[in-house]
């Protein structure tokens, strides 16, 4: 037999970890000693902070019927709703949208430039396809207001008519403004309904766009989606032509304005020039300025000539006559020198024959002298010409200087008078440039607007759809399964969270801080505890024998001589527990006394078939002795004291000295005294008996006892200085905590050499 609570001794005392979570250590001794405990909500163990998937799985298995019911409801609802939905047919047309057309002419600012990262253009086109203006255009072109197919699909449903949301009945007269407002609202609703059926699907990494339209009529979907594509192309062309026309009109107005402005500025410039007598040359400068420039050039040339002439004159004055380059270069001088040289040679030849006084010699001498005289005259003429040239250059230079100075004064005067003239001239130039540029732009736009082509084309026109687009039964059922499963699991966790009852032995240990001395399985109908105990090899009987064993190790002295069995609320199995434990201890050969201490709703006398005419109440009232009301049972070593007549004030009787004396007497006479006490909550009887008993066993019903009630029960017993040795979990089933728990850590085996398997509570 598997023995529970291997720690054995002191099972009723909190462990160190339990003592920390409970708040205070218990001070325990003998019977009647003080017990102090500040019972607070135990803090969860550190391991509880971690996600335990097995705990979640147990909750789902425990609430599996909730999950399955929710799953079934959602699945059936989706199935019925899908079958009742109106079939929707989708027609699709494919449109190609180029960033821009082929540029026959490129007009900067008017012809848009293409950028590989320009995504705004395509997003704009998608929004234009879904625009209300395009929808209104298609509605008007197809005359959908009078289209029977469109009227059928937009007719109000019976529910809308029933709720008063259908078309208004003709009633009292309305004003024109109200009528227009209603028509506008109706048109707006019509456009909104039209657009709700339209969807745009750009094809990834391409310039193709799929345009879808959904409706219950397949042919209607085809007509509408093709009309949308054609209307989109037409509206795009209209926008392009409208932009060109608007630009041309705007430029015409601006050209007219600039033309008038240019004429006014030119008139002002001419009038000012006439008034100030300012004449411009072809290059834009004044005549005086041009003359001054020319004179400056001439004066520079004259000054250069004068410097050269002066240099030659000073050289002629400083040098001998024949040393001048001009003299040497003179042909006359060269001829005279040649004649003189020949005469001189002849004179020297004859000098060797004749004397200088000889007539012929004198004649030659005279000729030579004549030539020298002619050379000297010619040299003088050359010097005179050099001087005359110098003087002429000097005079010319002085004259040019005088004219330049005169023109400088005129130019300075003209510049002072030309400030306003230049301002007017710049204004004329600016206006002329603006006019010329605008005129050229006007001509370019006229050409570009005439040769542009459409950048949108239909690749695939829509065909009549043969298969319905919605509803998709398989997809809806799959979604329904997922939603149903999710909703079922969510409800299971919600119910589990709202259920604050004690479900497993771990809840008692963690939330109440008590040791679990045993787990009693739940008996299935029509099995009763009496019938289950008849078979000593049953799990029910074995569970109580395990509790008996655990009680022997609950304190350092074994089982408390006087043991009170109680519970937080009625019908948790305390009477069955008290009777079964008494019988089990009696089977060990102990002298056992079973006292029915529930003087408000006794039940043990009926189970044992014993007369209840005299009992505990008679003794406490002083009418009989204690041993006079003790009766024997059909089991050896087991005696029973019934409650006797039910008193009107059980708590007052129990608080008397008689009850204290009774506990002393019976504990001395019997080896084991077990008291079946009343429930703790709402009554004062159980805390009184718990204070008198050597130990108290708290019975907790699995799946029924609320944690708050169990805590309050413990508080009341601790306030009465009771020694709670542990807790017993009764009516436990695997469904209380989910698959994986079973009967805690308690296993039950069959006896003998039979081939039947071990009876284990399924975990």
Place of tokens 């708590």: 651
Please say if the pLDDT value at position 312 is more than 60. Answer: yes
Which of 383, 398, 417 is the last residue in one of the domains?
417
Mean pLDDT across 299-309: 81
Mean pLDDT across 185-201: 88
The tens digit of pLDDT for each residue in 72-90 reads 999 999 999 888 888 888 8
Q: Give the confidence band of 22 by pLDDT, cuts at 50, 70, 90.
A: very low
Q: Give the confidence band of 592 by pLDDT, cuts at 50, 70, 90.
A: very high
Longest CA pairwise span in the chain (Å) = 220
Cβ–Cβ < 8 Å for 393, 245: no
Mean pLDDT across 29-51: 41
Q: Give the confidence band of 189 by pLDDT, cuts at 50, 70, 90.
A: confident
Please say if the pLDDT value at position 751 is more than 60. Answer: no
Q: Give the confidence band of 594 by pLDDT, cuts at 50, 70, 90.
A: very high
- 548 and 643 share one domain: yes
- 640 and 579 share one domain: yes
| Structural domain includes residue 458 | no
**Token pair recorded at residue 132:** 């209300």
**pLDDT given for residue 449 in this prediction:** 53
- 369 and 399 share one domain: yes
**Between 190 and 405, the higher pLDDT residue:** 190
- 588 and 674 share one domain: yes
**pLDDT given for residue 753 in this prediction:** 37
| Residue 407 CB-density burial (10 A; 0-12 exposed, 13-18 middle, 19+ buried) | buried
**pLDDT given for residue 461 in this prediction:** 87
Phi and psi angles of residue 730, each rounded to the nearest 5 degrees, phi first: -110, 165
Cβ–Cβ < 8 Å for 253, 457: no
Q: Give the confidence band of 595 by pLDDT, cuts at 50, 70, 90.
A: very high
**pLDDT given for residue 6 in this prediction:** 34
Listing DSSP states for 466-488 in one string gives: -S--B--HHHHHHHHHHHHHHHH
**pLDDT given for residue 553 in this prediction:** 86
Beta bridge partners of 516: 727
**pLDDT given for residue 484 in this prediction:** 92
Question: What share of the chain in percent tops pLDDT 70?
Answer: 76
The tens digit of pLDDT for each residue in 385-410 reads 777 877 888 888 788 777 777 777 66
**Cα 37 from Cα 724, distance rounded (Å):** 11
**Cα 248 from Cα 439, distance rounded (Å):** 10
Cα radius of gyration (the chain): 66
Mean pLDDT across 571-600: 91
- Name 227's Cβ contacts closer than 8 Å, sequence gap at least 6: 138, 141, 142
- 716 and 574 share one domain: yes
Cβ–Cβ < 8 Å for 487, 69: no
Among 332, 331, 333, 309, smallest CA distance to 321 is for 333
Beta bridge partners of 201: 210
- 512 and 399 share one domain: no
**Strand, coil or helix: what is 102?**
coil
The tally of CA atoms less than 13 A away on the side-chain side of residue 714 is 26
The tens digit of pLDDT for each residue in 24-36 reads 333 333 333 333 3
Phi and psi angles of residue 672, each rounded to the nearest 5 degrees, phi first: -145, 130
The tens digit of pLDDT for each residue in 99-137 reads 765 444 445 554 455 454 456 888 888 888 989 989 888
**Cα 43 from Cα 739, distance rounded (Å):** 25
| Structural domain includes residue 741 | no
The tens digit of pLDDT for each residue in 127-169 reads 889 899 898 889 888 888 888 888 777 776 565 555 555 555 5
| Structural domain includes residue 584 | yes
Please say if the pLDDT value at position 37 is more than 60. Answer: no
**pLDDT given for residue 579 in this prediction:** 92
Q: Give the confidence band of 241 by pLDDT, cuts at 50, 70, 90.
A: confident
Mean pLDDT across 666-681: 92
The tens digit of pLDDT for each residue in 518-555 reads 998 888 888 888 888 888 888 888 898 899 988 888 88
Listing DSSP states for 27-43 in one string gives: ---STT--------PPP
| Structural domain includes residue 578 | yes
| Structural domain includes residue 629 | yes
**pLDDT given for residue 483 in this prediction:** 93
**Strand, coil or helix: what is 693?**
coil
Please say if the pLDDT value at position 93 is more than 90. Answer: yes
Note down the domain range covering 520.
Answer: 17-24+37-59+500-736
**Cα 313 from Cα 391, distance rounded (Å):** 10
Which of 402, 417, 432 is the last residue in one of the domains?
417
**Strand, coil or helix: what is 198?**
strand
Please say if the pLDDT value at position 509 is more than 70. Answer: yes
| Structural domain includes residue 168 | no
Torsion sign across C-alpha atoms 438, 440, 445, 446? positive
- 672 and 531 share one domain: yes
- 619 and 636 share one domain: yes
**pLDDT given for residue 145 in this prediction:** 82
- 558 and 478 share one domain: no
**Between 452 and 162, the higher pLDDT residue:** 162
| Structural domain includes residue 233 | no
| Structural domain includes residue 695 | yes
Q: What's the structural domain count of the chain? A: 3
Mean pLDDT across 497-504: 81
**pLDDT given for residue 740 in this prediction:** 46
Mean pLDDT across 460-475: 85
**Cα 307 from Cα 691, distance rounded (Å):** 148
Which of 460, 495, 530 is the last residue in one of the domains?
495
Among 130, 132, 149, smallest CA distance to 140 is for 132
- 648 and 714 share one domain: yes
Question: What share of the chain in percent tops pLDDT 90?
Answer: 20
- 706 and 732 share one domain: yes
Mean pLDDT across the chain, nearest whole number?
77
Q: Give the confidence band of 738 by pLDDT, cuts at 50, 70, 90.
A: low
Q: In what order do the strands lie in the sheet with 456-460?
A: 198-202, 208-215, 89-97, 456-460
Q: Domain containing 569 — which CATH number?
A: 3.40.50.300
- 600 and 549 share one domain: yes
């Amino acid at each position: 037999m598997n023995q529970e609570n291997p720690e054995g001794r002191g099972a009723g005392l909190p462990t160190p970890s339990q003592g920390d979570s409970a708040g205070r250590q218990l001070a325990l001794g003998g019977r009647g000693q003080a017990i102090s405990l500040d019972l607070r909500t135990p803090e969860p163990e550190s391991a509880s902070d971690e996600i335990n998937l097995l705990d979640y799985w147990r909750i789902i298995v425990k609430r599996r019927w909730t999950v399955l019911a929710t799953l079934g409801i959602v699945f059936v609802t989706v199935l019925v709703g899908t079958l009742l939905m109106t079939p929707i047919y989708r027609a699709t047309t494919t449109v190609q949208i180029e960033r821009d057309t082929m540029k026959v002419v490129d007009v900067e600012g008017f012809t848009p430039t293409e950028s590989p990262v320009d995504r705004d253009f395509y997003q704009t086109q998608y929004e234009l396809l879904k625009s209300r203006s395009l929808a209104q255009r298609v509605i008007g072109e197809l005359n959908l207001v009078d289209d029977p197919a469109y009227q059928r699909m937009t007719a109000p449903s019976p529910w809308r008519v029933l709720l008063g949301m259908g078309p208004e009945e003709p009633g009292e007269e309305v004003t024109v403004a109200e009528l227009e407002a209603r028509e506008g609202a109706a048109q707006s609703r019509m456009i909104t309904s039209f657009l709700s059926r339209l969807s745009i699907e750009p094809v990834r990494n391409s310039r193709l766009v799929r345009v879808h339209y959904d409706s219950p009529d397949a042919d209607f979907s085809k007509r509408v989606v093709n009309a949308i594509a054609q209307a989109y192309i037409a509206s795009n062309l209209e926008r392009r032509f409208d932009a060109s026309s608007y630009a041309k009109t705007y430029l015409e107005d601006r050209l007219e304005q600039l033309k008038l402005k240019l004429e006014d500025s030119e008139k002002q410039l001419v009038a000012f020039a006439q008034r100030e007598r300012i004449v411009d040359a072809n290059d834009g400068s004044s005549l005086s300025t041009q003359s001054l420039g020319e004179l400056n050039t001439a004066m520079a040339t004259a000054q250069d000539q004068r410097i050269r002439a002066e240099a030659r004159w000073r050289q002629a004055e400083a040098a001998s006559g024949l040393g001048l380059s001009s003299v040497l270069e003179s042909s006359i001088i060269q001829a005279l020198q040649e004649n003189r040289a020949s005469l001189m040679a002849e004179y020297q030849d004859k000098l060797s024959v004749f004397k200088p006084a000889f007539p012929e010699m004198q004649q030659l001498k005279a000729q030579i002298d004549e030539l020298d005289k002619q050379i000297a005259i010619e040299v003088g003429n050359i010097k005179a010409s050099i001087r005359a040239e110098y003087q002429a250059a000097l005079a010319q230079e002085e004259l040019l200087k005088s004219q330049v100075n005169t023109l400088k004064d005129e130019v300075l005067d003209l510049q002072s008078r030309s400030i306003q003239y230049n301002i007017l001239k710049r204004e004329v130039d600016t206006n002329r440039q603006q006019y010329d540029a605008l005129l050229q732009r006007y001509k370019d736009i006229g050409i570009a607007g005439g040769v542009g082509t459409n950048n949108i084309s239909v690749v695939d026109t829509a065909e009549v759809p043969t298969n319905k687009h919605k509803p998709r039964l398989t997809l809806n059922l799959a979604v329904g399964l997922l939603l149903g499963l999710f909703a079922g699991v969510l409800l299971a966790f919600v119910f589990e969270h709202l259920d604050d009852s004690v479900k497993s032995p771990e809840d008692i240990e963690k939330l109440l801080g008590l040791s679990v001395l045993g787990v009693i399985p739940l008996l299935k109908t029509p099995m009763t505890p009496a019938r289950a105990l008849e078979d000593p090899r049953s799990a029910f009987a074995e569970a109580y024998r395990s509790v008996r064993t655990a009680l022997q190790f609950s304190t350092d002295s074994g089982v408390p001589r006087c043991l009170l069995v109680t519970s937080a609320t009625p019908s948790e199995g305390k009477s069955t527990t008290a009777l079964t434990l008494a019988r089990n201890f009696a089977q060990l050969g102990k002298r056992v006394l079973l006292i029915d201490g529930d003087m408000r709703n006794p039940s043990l006398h009926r189970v044992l078939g014993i007369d209840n005419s005299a009992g505990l109440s008679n003794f406490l009232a002083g009418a009989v002795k204690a041993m006079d009301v003790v009766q024997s049972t059909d089991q050896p070593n087991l005696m029973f004291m019934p409650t006797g007549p039910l008193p009107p004030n059980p708590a007052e009787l129990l608080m008397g000295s008689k009850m204290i004396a009774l506990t002393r007497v019976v504990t001395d006479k019997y080896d084991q005294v077990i008291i079946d006490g009343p429930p703790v909550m709402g009554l004062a009887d159980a805390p009184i008996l718990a204070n008198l008993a050597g130990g108290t066993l708290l019975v907790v019903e699995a799946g029924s006892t609320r944690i708050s009630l169990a805590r309050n029960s413990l508080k009341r017993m601790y306030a009465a200085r009771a020694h709670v040795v542990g807790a017993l979990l009764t009516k436990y089933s695997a469904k209380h905590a989910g698959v994986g728990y079973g009967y805690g850590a308690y296993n039950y085996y069959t006896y003998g050499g039979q081939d039947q398997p071990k009876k284990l509570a399924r975990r």
